[in-house]
Amino acid sequence: MQGVLTLGQFIIENQSEFPYAKGELSRLLRDIGIASKIVNREVNKAGLMDILGEAGTMNIQGESQKKLDVFANEQFISALQSGGECCIVASEENDEFVYIDGEVSKDAKYIVAIDPLDGSSNIDVNVAVGTIFSIYRRKSSTGRATIDDVLQKGTEQVAAGYVIYGSSTMLVYTTGKGVNGFTLDPSIGEFCLSHPKMRIPKDGTIYSINEGNYVHFPEGVKKYLKYCQVEDPTSSRPFTSRYIGSMVADIHRNMIKGGIFIYPTTSSAPNGKLRLVYECNPMAFIIEQAGGRATDGFNRILEKDVHSLHQRSAIFIGSENMVHKAESLMSQYTKDQSDEKLNELLYKTGVIGGLD
């Protein structure tokens, strides 16, 4: 394996990045890598097994769970349970967060938030799907961890990553010191460093959005789409529209080629569709670490207050200059409905708050 650096070797070689870490975070990342390989095996042969289709259950989002959703969720929770480095798992597939029982785990210092299989509705049509994970250090120092240990701002993440189960399977993660990508080599069953120090281009010519919702988009988004579609060779417009319908796949493509992914508020998703804790925050951490930008159209994703486990957010994420352009049109044409701005206004006018 001359010249091949596996995920495990890379984690150990870069362990000094983790402040105060005595190997726990390294082992936690290893556990996630192991579960990803098991999920990858099932995703790759989903068509051959009775593992396609509906599980006959619904998650808290009211979405019918695919058998692979449930399988993936079980694999990640099981890997984290046996690894012993995590005390709580917050998963898209579970209404409430899950305590990781066990003599060791209950005192473990890390919290994992995860979307075990994002885009799972694409599995039956053989389109790339992904896993998204976010790792926090628990804030409480004694007793059982609580919901407050989970509902931390995105800026508090110690690590975040995604796995894309596509033409090849890649694990991309950051611990706050840049982004590195690893491709699974099935012949040795190892994730191998293939994309060191990933950077997203500052500009791009790809925009990703479900234009089927056009009539329900905020005015600023409509203006941005028209901007993308105008003929202007000096700025390489019209841009190209690419939408896979799998957040990990759309954002990964934009990471490599440059581009912007937008899931704004719509009439059916007045707070956006994507979830802040285990989709928007981890992807925002990764993209910012790669030199990109991630906001809700007005506010930096990582600084948004986290009120609840399955809280949703609008997201504009990708190449820095493209996101800036979209934000400028949002501020020009759309009123910021987010809590932060409303609370700020109420505070300033003395309706709420005050120092007492």
Query: Which positions ≥6 away from 57 have C-beta within 8 Å?
Result: 64, 65, 70
Instruction: Closer to ligand P6P by CB, 31 or 118: give it.
Output: 118
Residue from 31, 69, 93, 118 touching ligand P6P (CB under 6 A): that is 118
Nearby residues of 143 by Cβ (< 8 Å), 6 or more positions away: none
What is the three-class DSSP state of 68?
helix
Q: How far is the CB of 84 from ligand P6P (least distance, A)?
A: 30
The residues that bridge with 315 in the sheet, in sequence order, are: 263
C-beta of 205: minimal distance to ligand P6P in Å? 20
Helix spans in the chain (H): 7-13, 24-44, 67-83, 147-150, 219-229, 247-257, 281-289, 320-333, 339-348
Among 246, 254, 281, 338, binds ligand P6P (CB under 6 A): 246
Kindly indicate which of the ranges 34-42, 118-126, 186-194, 280-288 contains the residues binding ligand P6P, using the contact rule CB under 6 A: 118-126
Distance of CA 127 to the CA centre of its chain: 18
The stretch among 41-49, 227-235, 244-252, 326-334 that binds ligand P6P (CB under 6 A) is 244-252
Q: Which stretch binds ligand P6P (CB under 6 A): 114-122, 176-184, 227-235, 340-348?
A: 114-122
- For residue 251, the minimal CB distance to ligand P6P (Å) is 8
Q: Does 92 bind ligand P6P (CB under 6 A)?
A: no
CA distance 195 to 47: 29
Residue 90 contacts residue 278 (beta carbons within 8 Å):
yes
Report the first-to-last Cα separation within the chain, whole angstroms.
Answer: 64
Provide the 3-class DSSP secondary structure of residue 205. Answer: coil
Measured CA to CA, the distance from residue 172 to residue 252 in angstroms comes to 9
Distance CA 128, CA 167 (A): 8
Instruction: Compare residues 184 and 274 and give the one whose CB is closer to ligand P6P.
Output: 274
**Interacting residue with ligand P6P among 14, 81, 121, 155 (CB under 6 A):** 121
Smallest separation, CB 264 to ligand P6P (Å): 11
Which of 33, 119, 166, 297 is the binder for ligand P6P (CB under 6 A)? 119
- Would you count residue 259 as binding ligand P6P (CB under 6 A)? no
Cα–Cα distance between 18 and 36 in angstroms, integer? 22
Minimum distance, C-beta of residue 127 to ligand P6P, in the bound complex (Å):
10
Nearest residue (CB) to ligand P6P, 210 versus 337: 210
Distance from chain centroid for Cα 62: 20
Which range of residues in 113-121, 179-187, 252-260, 313-321 is near ligand P6P by CB under 6 A?
113-121
Name residues whose C-beta falls within 8 Å of residue 163's C-beta, 6 or more positions apart in sequence. Answer: 36, 39, 40, 130, 131, 169, 170, 171, 172, 248
263-282 residues near ligand P6P, rule: CB under 6 A:
273
Residues 176-215 that bind ligand P6P (CB under 6 A): 210
Under rule CB under 6 A, residue 291 binds ligand P6P: no
Which CB, 247 or 322, lies closer to ligand P6P? 247
Residue 64 sits in the site that holds ligand P6P (CB under 6 A): no
160's tokens: 């975040």
Q: What number of chain residues touch ligand P6P (CB under 6 A)?
A: 8
Shortest distance (Å) from residue 65 CB to ligand P6P: 12
Give the binding site for ligand P6P (CB under 6 A).
118-119, 121, 210, 245-247, 273
